A = this chain, B = another copy of it.
Amino acid sequence: MNIRPLQDRILVQPIREKEVRKGGIIIPDSAKDAPTEGRVKAVGPGRIGEDGKRVKPDVKVGDKVLYSKYGGTEVKIDAEDFLLMREDDILGVIDSK
């Protein structure tokens, strides 16, 4: 079962805290808008810009991303947790190299 996001929406699978701590980025618990790490699972075709053309999202399936904790909507697919968020809720791509 798959979800095909519409517009500029991105399907992200959150990465568990444990895995994050090992990877090196630790988010301070006190931070009010602390972002969270996740893996991109599906990417919408992009929003329609004011000039009538698609604005293709800057992330692709497989990217490890940092996203705003308050962005997105939780969905459960085949017993796993995912988030559907707008591309604008994604702050950056993490290159773990």
Report the contact-size class of chain A (Cβ under 8 Å from the partner): 35 or more
Write the nearest CB–CB distance from A67 to chain B, whole angstroms.
10
Which residues on the B side are within 8 Å of A2 (C-beta)?
94-95, 97
Within the oligomer, what is the number of copies of this chain?
7
Which residues on the B side are within 8 Å of A19 (C-beta)?
none
Which residues on the B side are within 8 Å of A24 (C-beta)?
1, 77-78
Task: Enumerate chain A interface residues (CB-CB to B < 8 A).
Answer: 1-7, 9, 11, 23-28, 31, 33-35, 42, 44-45, 48-53, 55, 58-59, 66, 68, 73-79, 84, 87-88, 90-97
Q: List 9 tightest A-B contacts by C-beta distance, closest first.
A: A51-B52, A3-B92, A2-B95, A5-B92, A4-B93, A50-B50, A31-B74, A26-B76, A84-B91
